[in-house]
Every structure is written in structure tokens, then in C-alpha cells.
A and B are shown apart, each in its own frame.
Chain A
Amino acid sequence: MTADPQIPLLSVRDLKVHFPIHRGVLQRQVGTVRAVDGVSFDLGRNETLGLVGESGCGKSTTGLALTGLVPPTEGTVMFDGKRVGSESGVDLQTYRRRMQIVFQDPYSSLNPRQRVSDILRVPLDIHGIGTRAERPQMVLDMMERVGLRPDQARNYPHQFSGGQRQRIGIARALMLNPDVIVCDEPVSALDVSVQAQILNLLRDLQAELGVAFLFISHDLGVVEHIARKVAVMYLGKIVEMADRRTLFANPVHPYTERLLGSMPSLDPRKRHSFEVASDDIPSATSIPSGCAFRTRCPLATAVCAKEVPPATERAPGHVVACHNR
């Protein structure tokens, strides 16, 4: 592995994922869902980037495209300085070994007919890691590492609680010792107390193994807890990206401001700094021209309808896409 600190581990440029909509007998294409519409970011080793946004803003699709589960329409993904999928770059099988995913739903993410020991062995079998004799021990070691008892190895997924299942999902992703794990809302299906356990587990694993996380969530509180850098997505685009402290203390983009304003506060005297949103997010099939947020933006002016605001760096590492701020 070339550990050049100058080159980010994962570098995504102008990633687009569009889904055609077909209708009628002839299956004519009648429209396009622009789920991800030009996303760029860097993710360094051992780093956690939080990706936040409303439902349907394309954050999960971004994660699926990066793990190769959904084919990207456009854009480049550089892994360790090499382009993924190209002839001279990283081939898909190597890339998959170094890039894993943890899903939101701990129930559907585990095959109900496989024992935990089998679920965790599959990655080793596929990539031929260790000898046949070594693999069971590797599985047990990993179970211990994520906080499962080795005597549970012969159990089926339905014999575990949601939090334990999520630990199994994390263990499966870690089996290949990847460099990046896409965590697609890994705690939003869990109870709050269990959420904290899983988040702490992820943090400990990161400190121990040096894995980087792309942490997708709609829960700002969770992201504030775990991420170092945060990117805010709106209708397929990143509107603001900064390190966690800057973003939470000095949001620049009006959408970020509004998102933060909607965070519930423990202080009853504190009122929402913004009005609670009463309007819906526009459909990803007909994204507004210019700035996608202008239909809900209090600062929208004429230029917002005409030109897409370019993402500009306002301070080192603080990128904002807005005409009026």
C-alpha cells in the first residue's frame, strides 16, 4: 500500500447517478431521476465524513454507487490515487475488498438461513483469505472484536437483537480488513441506547484498525457525535462541507442553517431559529433550475434561478455552494 499522505484515500469527483424512468408498452424513457447529481469529496485515511440530508436527497445512492452496487452514470472515483474500474487503475474485485458497506436495516442485511459463522466466513472464502483451517478462528476473533460472544457463532440471525445484528453486519464488513466502510444509516433503525453502543463500537474500531468511514445519516446529532468532517446534501448535490465544528457553529448555506435549526434542543426556552419546514423537498425527477434549493430558500434572488451556484472554498476546507452568502 502506498501511504502517501498527500493523496486522499478516496477521492470522488462529480459523481452522478441517474435512473431513467420508462413508461408504457414501448418502455419509452419519459424522465430521469437525478438521484446523485455531481458529488465531489475527499476522504482521508482513518477519517470519518458524515453525509447528511433529508430523505431522498441521494445520500444513500451515493454510498451504493461508491460500493459498486449501483452503476454511476458519470464521474470518477479515485482510490489510493488510482481510478476505479479503468484498465490501469484498481480492478473492481480489489476495490471491493478495500471498500465495504454496512446497511441500515439489521434485519434484511443478514441471510436468515446462514449461521453467523457462515455469514462472516463468506468474505474470506470469496477472496481466499487465510487457509480453510484458519478461517473459523478468524471469524471468532472478529466476533469478539465487535462484542459478540464466540459461543454465538452457531446461531442464526433471528436469535439476535437488532443491535447485535448490526454488530454482525459491521463484523462482516470488517472481515476483509477494508480501508473504507460506507455506513448507510447504521444506527437509525436502533433504540437510542443501542445507537450509542454501536457508535462507540465504530469509534473504537476506527482507532484500532484505522478504517475510514463514510457515515450516511439524517440524524445530525449522530453525525455530530461521530464525524470529523460533515457534508450536507440537497437534491443530489453537496451544498456545504466543512469540518464538524465549523459546520455546526458557523453554517453558511441557508439549507444547512435550516437543518441545524430543526435539530431538537434540550433547552425548552430555546426556540427554533428558523421556521419549521412546511414545504416538501422537490422531486428528483424535476430538480429546479439553477440552485436546487431556491424554491425553499429565504434568500433566493433572480440569479439563483439562472445559474447553478459553484462550490467555492470560503475558508480552508469549508466549501459552500451559494450565490448569496
Chain B
Amino acid sequence: MTATSPQAAPRGARRLRLPKPLRNASLLIGAAITLTIIGLAIFAPLVATHDLAQMDMPNRFSGPSLEHLLGTDNFGRDIWSRLVYGARISLSIALIAVVASAIIGTLVGLISGYFGGWIDLVLMRITDVFLGFPPLVLVLAVVAVMGPGLMNVALSLVVVSWTEYARVVRSTTLTLREQNYVQAARALGASWPRILFREILPNSLGPIIVLASLGLGTAIIWESALSFLGFGLPPPAPTWGWSLSYGTRFIRDEPWMSIISGAAIMVTVLGFNLLGDGLRDLLDPRQQTRGKG
């Protein structure tokens, strides 16, 4: 919160009034980082400077130069080019995993919390079973059974992350269903899907969005971890996790390869977290007019 800090209030009256989303620093920075990385991923064929498979053994571990923007890896492949293509893999896995987890978890949470009773009991015990496994074991088991591949890695992440949405949405639903406006909707004769999706869901969106943005970051870390452990996409694929893990073999003499992929992971995760914080503030209509309005 720098440029738009309310502490500048005395001069505030004369200050240029930006539209509300633009006064939210974490939203701006988060969106900038995320959009940049998404842009790089989408336009990877245009921004990549080299062929991914092109090796240049004499020039392995070269530092950044005009020829190789971020240097080369252990096979002399261009790190920058591998990085932007790697963004495609990381982002698609994260997006698929998060969207699927959020949808499944939210549905389970809404139904569980709203209906209660034995429905709640059954759904929550199923959730407990999923929570009961150590997540790494569960993920590895799914990938081991299904085999490596983009969809399978994404699916394995859904298996461990939908429970979080289910739990959070259930607890907000438990509170919201007692609200008078939900009672009023019932008195008006609203059907249960209408109550769930029109009255309760919009009021649970805040936590879901925060979870999803954190989840995108976590999914990227998970994907890297799987690649690091050798359970991700198999080697020619330019995953960030593989570069990070393989780079550690040379880290004493040539730390560049690991540092770059590690930094890419970190910046991306940071971007999603900032974006999530910003969105939460933006989506709460009560905060739009409070104080600064």
C-alpha cells in the first residue's frame, strides 16, 4: 500500500481519484505479475529465442548474454526459452487443478452445510478420508497409478486440494444459512439451488477466491515438487521443477540454472497471492465505499 495509502489524506482532496481497482496496490502488483507470466506462457513461441531441444555443449552453463538472455543449462540449452515454455506447463496444471478443486469442493461444502444431518455427516466423513492421507503419498499414488502426463498431474492435485474448499465453504454456509436473508428467501418460496447459488454462494466467494489464489501458488509448487521428484512430466518437457532439481547437481559451481527456475516459481506464487488478496478486497462491496469513498 504505497501510492494509494489513506495516510496522505490531507492532500487527498486534491489527489487524482483513480477508479477503485487501481487504488488497490496488491491487486495491481499481483495482476501485473500474473498477467506478465500468463502473457509469456501464451506467447511462448514468439518470446522464446531458441529451439527448446537445441543443445550447445561447448556453451553449457554460460552466464546471461545477448545470445542467451538467462544463460544456458547443463546441456547448453537456452534457459529463457525453456522458462517461458515451462510457464505453460505450470500454469495449465495449476489452473486445471484449482478450477476443478474449487468447483468440486464448493459444491460439496454448499450441500453439506446447507442440508446438514446425515448428508453432512456422509460428505464430511468422505472429506476426512481424503484429508487423512499424507498429501504427498496421495499425489504420488495417483500419479503412479495413472502415469505421468499433464492431466494426470492436475488430477492428482485435485485429489488433495478439493477438501480445503469443501471445509471452508461448509463452515461459511453453516453461518450464512441462518442469516435472515436466507430465511426470507425460503419464506418467498425460493428453491434450494436458488438459495445456494444466489444467496449463499455470492457471500462465500471471498474465501473461495483467496483459497483459489493461494491454491494456484500451491499447485505450482506441487507441480515443481513432482517434477523435482521425477514424477512430473518426463524429461524433455521444460518443467521448472526439473530444472530446479537437476540444477542442484551443479549448484556449487554453476548455481544459475536452479536460481532462475526457483525465482520463476517464487515470483509466480507471489503474484497469485497478491492477486488473491487484492481480489478479495475488490469483491467485497462493503469495502468499496468504506472510509476512502
Contact = CB atoms under 8 A, between A and B. Distances in A.
Interface of A: 64, 67-69, 92-93, 96-97, 99-101, 103-105, 108-114, 122-123, 126-127, 156, 158-159, 169, 172, 176
Given A64-B183, A112-B286, 7 more contacts: A67-B187, A69-B186, A111-B181, A122-B185, A127-B189, A158-B285, A172-B188
B194 A103 contact: no
15 contacts: A68-B187, A100-B187, A103-B180, A105-B180, A108-B179, A109-B183, A109-B184, A110-B181, A112-B285, A112-B286, A122-B198, A126-B190, A158-B286, A158-B289, A169-B184
Interface residues of B, number: 20
A92 B191 CA distance: 12
Given A113-B285, A156-B285, A108 B189 contact: no
B59 interface: no
Contacts of A127: 188-189
A67 B188 CA distance: 9
Q: Which of B180, B187, B194, B289 has the most CB of A within 10 A?
A: B187
Q: Which of A97, A100, A113 has the most CB of B within 10 A?
A: A113
Contacts of B289: 158-159
Given A101-B184, A103-B183, A111 B189 contact: no
Interface of B: 179-181, 183-191, 194, 198-199, 202-203, 285-286, 289
A112 B203 contact: yes
Closest A-B pairs by Cβ, 7 of them: A109-B180, A96-B189, A103-B180, A111-B181, A113-B202, A108-B180, A67-B187
B225 to A, nearest CB: 37
A69 B285 contact: no
B181 A108 contact: yes
B183 A69 contact: yes
Contacts of B194: 126
Contacts of B188: 96, 100, 122-123, 126-127, 172, 176
Nearest to B203: A113
Contacts of A123: 188
A312 B144 CA distance: 79
Contacts of A112: 203, 285-286
Contacts of A103: 180, 183-184
A313 B228 CA distance: 85
